[in-house]
Amino acid sequence: MRLSEDKVLAEIRRLTRRDLRHWVRQGWVRPVIGETGPLFDTLDVARLRLLCDLRKDMAVPASTMPVVLSLLDQLHQTRRDLVRLLSILEDQPRDVRAAFERQLRARNPEQE
């Protein structure tokens, strides 16, 4: 589902049109540009909520936002990679999973 600028503003009441357009210009959120303007998907809306939290509630300076967003994007990508890796591991035979778990414990003994 894609939302217009007006629908996003209605859904995120503390977001102003000025901030929304500025954040799009900065590249902090990247909607699809349709015939009638930007269209935001659910991930864009979640990112906009996060931007409101960071900028309005936590007062993160605009100058540091690219670094913060880059780190958050890397963290989310790492999480997606781990979920994919776990899915692949679950499909492996029991002996392969057991060998993997032994190797994991051997390399991180403080977690036992």
Same-domain pairing of 108 and 93: yes
Same-domain pairing of 112 and 98: yes
Q: For residues 49 and 12, is the Cβ–Cβ distance under 8 A?
A: yes
Q: Please, which pLDDT band fits residue 1 given cuts at 50, 70 and 90?
A: confident
Same-domain pairing of 44 and 94: no
CA distances from 87 to 15, 81, 83 (A): 37, 10, 6
Residue 112 has pLDDT above 70, yes or no: no
H-type helices in 1-112, by residue range?
Answer: 5-11, 17-26, 42-52, 65-90, 94-107
Same-domain pairing of 53 and 2: yes
CA distances from 31 to 90, 92, 101 (A): 35, 38, 41
Residue 10 sits in a domain whose CATH number is: 1.10.1660
Could you report the per-residue pLDDT of 10-46, keeping only the tens digit for each?
999 999 999 999 999 999 999 999 998 999 999 999 9
Same-domain pairing of 43 and 1: yes
